[in-house]
Amino acid sequence: MKVFLIRHGESIGNQKGLHQGQKNDFSLSELGKRQSYFLKKRFENLKIDAIYSSDLRRAKETAEFLSKPRRINIILDKRLRERSFGVIEEEKNILESWREFVKREQDEKGIEPA
């Protein structure tokens, strides 16, 4: 048995430079659709028995490129979602946002930086 792990194509959130997690559910961008089309071409001669996908739109849309020509139902499972990043989801500059978050936490709780 072979298992292939595939990341979704570029989403609109990726295109905008946003950090994504579970709260935002962006569709694929035009580039992501082209990437998924090439993924379909890459896998067209391989036997696929099952397709499992996160229930988030970007992952589901990517999986549909593989499933439609084969008429295989996609098994959606929320346990396959990306991890949740809470308050920093949808941030553009995640590193800067993280630094600001840590600084606020240190200031509010009186924690001295190491």
Q: For residue 101, what are its two tokens? A: 């978050």
* 38-86 pLDDT tens trace: 999 999 999 999 999 999 999 999 999 999 989 999 999 999 998 887 7
Query: What confidence tens digit (pLDDT) does each residue in 14-36 have?
Result: 898 887 888 888 999 999 999 99
What pTM was estimated for this model as a whole?
0.76
Q: How far is CA 9 from the centre of its chain?
A: 8
pLDDT over threshold 70, residue 114: no
User: What backbone phi and psi angles, to 5 degrees, belong to 78?
Assistant: -65, -15
CATH code reported for the domain at 12-109 = 3.40.50.1240
DSSP state, residue 60: H
In the chain, where the domains are located: 12-109
Q: How far apart are CA 107 and CA 84, in angstroms?
A: 25
Q: Give the residue numbers annotated as catalytic, written as ranges.
A: 8, 82
